Amino acid sequence: MADFFATAQTKAAPSGRVAYVNARLFDPESGRDEGGALLTDGRQIVDLGPRLFNEGVPEGTEVVDCGGFLLAPGLVDMHVHFREPGHEHKETLATGSRAAAAGGVTTVACMPNTEPPIDDVALVHFIERRARDTAIVKVHPIAAITRGLRGEEIAEMGMLKEAGALAFSDDGLPVYNSRVMRRALSYSTTFDALIVQHAEDPQLSSCGCMNESETATRLGLPGIPNASEVVIVERDIRLVEITGARYHVAHISTAEAVDAVRRAKARGLRVSAEAAPHHFTLNETAVGDYRTFAKMAPPLRSEADRQAVLEGLKDGTIDAIATDHAPHDQDSKRLPFAHAANGIVGLETLLPLALELVHARHMSLREVLATVTIRPARLLGLECGRLAKGAPADLTVIDPDRSWQVDRDRFQSKSKNSPFDGRAVRGLALRTVVGGCTVFRRDG
Amino acid sequence: MSGRVSAEPQPFVFPHRHLLGIEGLSRDDIALLLDLAESYIALNRRAEKKLDVLRGRTLINMFFESSTRTRTSFELAGKRLGADVINMSTSSSSIKKGETLIDTALTLNAMQPDVLVVRHPDSGAVRLLSNHVECAIINGGDGSHEHPTQALLDALVIRRHRGRLAGLLIAICGDIMHSRVARSNIHLLTIMGARVRLVAPPTLLPAAIERMGVEVHHDMHRGLADADIVMMLRLQTERMQGSFVPSAREYFHFYGLTYEKLAVAKPDALIMHPGPMNRGVEIDSVVADDITRSVILEQVELGVAVRQACLEVLARNLPGIGHNR
């Protein structure tokens, strides 16, 4: 049987009362992990607990039987590229949101490196309108730090934030000019805005296209040194020190940068970081014989770096897991390695790859789910990411043990560029609920 | 036609469909190619050079990067084995019109060539092509990755002069970072049991190169000490002006091969260069022209023999040819 997907229109219609019964209520924020039920009314969670509906579900309430599986807050992915406007042949808010729903993700923050880039209030409104009209999960824009992502003049952060931008980033590119970065951090404090840095020194990366290492040397590919990431992170931390800004390192990939963030946190600075699943599940050897599906920025690093990212997740240095979902069509990837586009799709593999950390006993289920729910939600200032009375009715039903094999041909995303194709994984979203409405149900 | 043509089929078969690099070849594979190439040398010195090993076969030379010696060498090798040889260069190809590499490959593949020789400025481009064609592919040099026939011809020259490769001390000097010749030679020489030293300033050495089983030196006097073979690499002009080394003058001062630097090597050390040379940058003209030491032109000569050997072993693996020479 085909899986069910709602449309943006059905999602928009107000839902009535829905009872989720026979659930394992799992809330990473409170630590709640118990059998019970949950009630939503319209777009909110109104009640939950082990004894709810012990007397039966009242007449007129829709009942969803969770089959004893995990009922958790819908996942929050704070770093995706949905390519709209400008590159709709790679992804749109519609297709990207279906990929999110199929992956158990209810909220995404999309990066502004579109064409044109999201650096103006009108463009924030465009994303919000397209999200409302075409997307089946919550799509929030992150706006550019600098106009046109050029790294020169800061964008209208205050007005962009008022319009709905959750955070600011020139992702894809770093803010390289130290003076501009200092001003951006400084200015952002007025609005308590989060500044998300793509930490890469373009001069050090130069024309590099994979991790600088023996593998790169053997393949004859120019390398990107670890220093390329950490010199920017270290510089930015110095600037956070003098500005007091909220600073977030996107897709952290090196041991050195993880350590820099750890030390900054210890000094009480408002510094956070996210890691992408590929940076804690793969290392540079995945490039193999020039596999362009293993090409991304920052690149897959050494095994020691992979371990360091894992450590950073375990000790809380890294706050969130975010996919850096970067769809590319086949023509952008079927090229000599140096010319192939950077990035991989990630929304439909996020949950099982994150759960590998649980299955491998690196982290508890609560710790792992916190990195994809409450922690990114808090960084972005969102109310979601938790199971609590009054919280948004954004939920996902998860079978954390279900074994399956990644098959890119079954991806909802318009693009199929995944190095995880064929990987045996465990953990699957069975149902995704956004604002009280089931937007995805796995029937197959 | 000649004694060798009537030779029995070799007992050892070359177990590869393409020749994409030296990495992945075994000692036996390399020995097979060198032995076979050896048999072509005398043939190439005769007036009548033509065989029919590749009669009826089509060889396309596809050069996405300019080349005189390698392209000519493959062309001669193909023609002397009786193949129809077609040369395509970037200027005449539809790549200039925006066709992708894979489309070009599919187009050529549709014309049923038997062997494609490909040179491309991007590392990995030849492997990418090999995934989309049915013919045999020879890597004629891809980016900074590999140039397997160059390493084979270098090995053949060394073996003819020293009778072996194992145990020799070979110093490869210069722009290792950007050199596909260096990488292929490192693989081949270490597989065959030679000792390899690299001599270059740190800016011209790629990361973790010592993990490829070589010794690394930044000083020519130490690097060349007791070397049996000194292999010089070309330094591209655009890399001499402050980007990787401060100037051609300073580079020559520290890394240019002169008699003075060569004095620490074995007295009969051979000098090699894959060409084209920058006289006065990586090698002193007098040294390059010293016929008692320099084997640079012999490298060119034996290049044809090596390419004949490569074409022959790959052609033998093509469907419908077998051993019916």
Report yes or no on A95 lying in a domain.
yes
| Residue A13, pLDDT score | 83
* Average pLDDT value for residue range A328-333: 95
Cα-Cα-Cα-Cα dihedral sign, residues B81, B86, B91, B94:
negative
Which CATH number goes with the domain that contains A195? 3.20.20.140
Kindly report the nearest CA distance between residue B101 and chain A, in angstroms.
7
Given a cut of 90, is residue A78 above it in pLDDT?
yes
| Residues A189, A164 within the same domain | yes
Task: Report the distance separating Cα A287 and Cα A308, nearest Å.
Answer: 20
Question: Could you say which of A362, A380, A398 is where a domain stops?
Answer: A380
Given a cut of 80, is residue B94 above it in pLDDT?
no
| Residues A83, A13 within the same domain | no
* Average pLDDT value for residue range B34-38: 97
Q: How confident is the model at residue B325 (pLDDT cuts 50, 70, 90)?
A: very low
Kindly report the nearest CA distance between residue A293 and chain B, in angstroms.
13
Kindly report the nearest CA distance between residue B314 and chain A, in angstroms.
21
Task: Report the distance separating Cα A428 and Cα B309, nearest Å.
Answer: 55
Residue from the list A213, A223, A290 with its beta carbon closest to the beta carbon of B127: A290
Share of chain A above pLDDT 70, in %: 100
Contact A216 B183 (CB under 8 A): no
Residue from the list B100, B144, B211 with its beta carbon closest to the beta carbon of A220: B144
**Mean pLDDT of chain B, nearest integer:** 91
Question: Could you say which of A344, A360, A380 is where a domain stops?
Answer: A380
* Average pLDDT value for residue range A291-299: 97
Contact B122 A217 (CB under 8 A): no
For chain B, say whether A338 makes contact (Cβ under 8 Å). yes
Tokens standing for residue B157: 């020259």
| Residues A10, A37 within the same domain | yes
* Average pLDDT value for residue range A298-313: 98
Contact B123 A214 (CB under 8 A): no
Instruction: With CA atoms as reference, report the closest residue to A142 among A327, A322, A344.
Output: A322
Report yes or no on A410 lying in a domain.
yes
B212: chain A residues, CB-CB within 8 Å: 214, 217-218
| Residues A43, A158 within the same domain | no
| Residues A438, A321 within the same domain | no
Chain B's closest residue to A223, CA to CA, is: B207
A225: chain B residues, CB-CB within 8 Å: 207
B188: chain A residues, CB-CB within 8 Å: none
Task: Report the distance separating Cα B203 and Cα A408, nearest Å.
Answer: 41
Which CATH number goes with the domain that contains A51? 2.30.40.10
Task: Report the distance separating Cα B193 and Cα B293, nearest Å.
Answer: 23
Report yes or no on A62 lying in a domain.
yes
Give pLDDT tens digits for B204-254. Answer: 999 999 999 999 999 999 999 999 999 999 998 777 777 899 999 999 999
A324 is catalytic: yes
| Residues A365, A324 within the same domain | yes
Report yes or no on A108 lying in a domain.
yes
Tokens standing for residue A229: 């990431």
| Residues A275, A245 within the same domain | yes
Mutation target for B interface from A228, A289, A329: give the one with most B CBs within 10 A. A289
**Residues A194 and A166 sit within 8 Å (Cβ to Cβ):** yes
Chain A's closest residue to B187, CA to CA, is: A218
Given a cut of 50, is residue B324 above it in pLDDT?
no
Instruction: With CA atoms as reference, report the closest residue to B51 among B108, B2, B118, B84.
Output: B2
For chain A, say whether B216 makes contact (Cβ under 8 Å). no
* Beta-carbon contacts of residue A7 (< 8 Å; ≥ 6 apart): A136
* Average pLDDT value for residue range B14-21: 96
Give pLDDT tens digits for A100-151. Answer: 999 999 999 999 999 999 999 999 999 999 999 999 999 999 999 999 999 9
A221: chain B residues, CB-CB within 8 Å: 123-124, 143-145
Share of chain B above pLDDT 90, in %: 82
Given a cut of 70, is residue B8 above it in pLDDT?
no
Q: Which of A324, A394, A399, A401 is catalytic?
A: A324
Kindly report the nearest CA distance between residue A333 and chain B, in angstroms.
11
| Residues A67, A204 within the same domain | no
Tokens standing for residue A242: 């003098």
Report yes or no on A135 lying in a domain.
yes
For chain A, say whether B183 makes contact (Cβ under 8 Å). yes
Question: Which residue has tokens 């049991």?
Answer: B193
Query: What is this model's ipTM?
Result: 0.90
| Residue A200, pLDDT score | 98
Report yes or no on A385 lying in a domain.
no
Question: Which residue has tokens 């490959």?
Answer: B105
| Residues A191, A340 within the same domain | yes
For chain A, say whether B47 makes contact (Cβ under 8 Å). no
Share of chain A above pLDDT 90, in %: 97
Q: Which domain holds residue A327?
A: 73-380
| Residues A260, A170 within the same domain | yes
| Residues A369, A404 within the same domain | no
DSSP at B123: T
Q: How confident is the model at residue B6 (pLDDT cuts 50, 70, 90)?
A: very low
N-term to C-term CA, chain A: 5
**In total, how many domains does chain A have?**
2
| Residue B89, pLDDT score | 78
Tokens standing for residue B285: 């003209």
A77: β partners:
A108
**CB < 8 Å from B in window 225-264 of A:** 225
| Residues A138, A230 within the same domain | yes
Given a cut of 90, is residue A264 above it in pLDDT?
yes
| Residue B198, pLDDT score | 98
Query: Residue A203 burial (CB < 10 Å; 0-12/13-18/19+)?
Result: exposed
SS (H, E, C) A136-175: CCEEEECECCEHHHCCCCECCHHHHHHHCCCCEECCCCCC
Contact B142 A218 (CB under 8 A): no
Give pLDDT tens digits for B139-174. Answer: 999 999 999 999 999 999 999 999 999 999 999 999
**Mean pLDDT of chain A, nearest integer:** 97
| Residue A2, pLDDT score | 83
A337: chain B residues, CB-CB within 8 Å: 122-124
* Average pLDDT value for residue range A91-97: 98
* Average pLDDT value for residue range A213-221: 97
* Average pLDDT value for residue range B3-15: 61
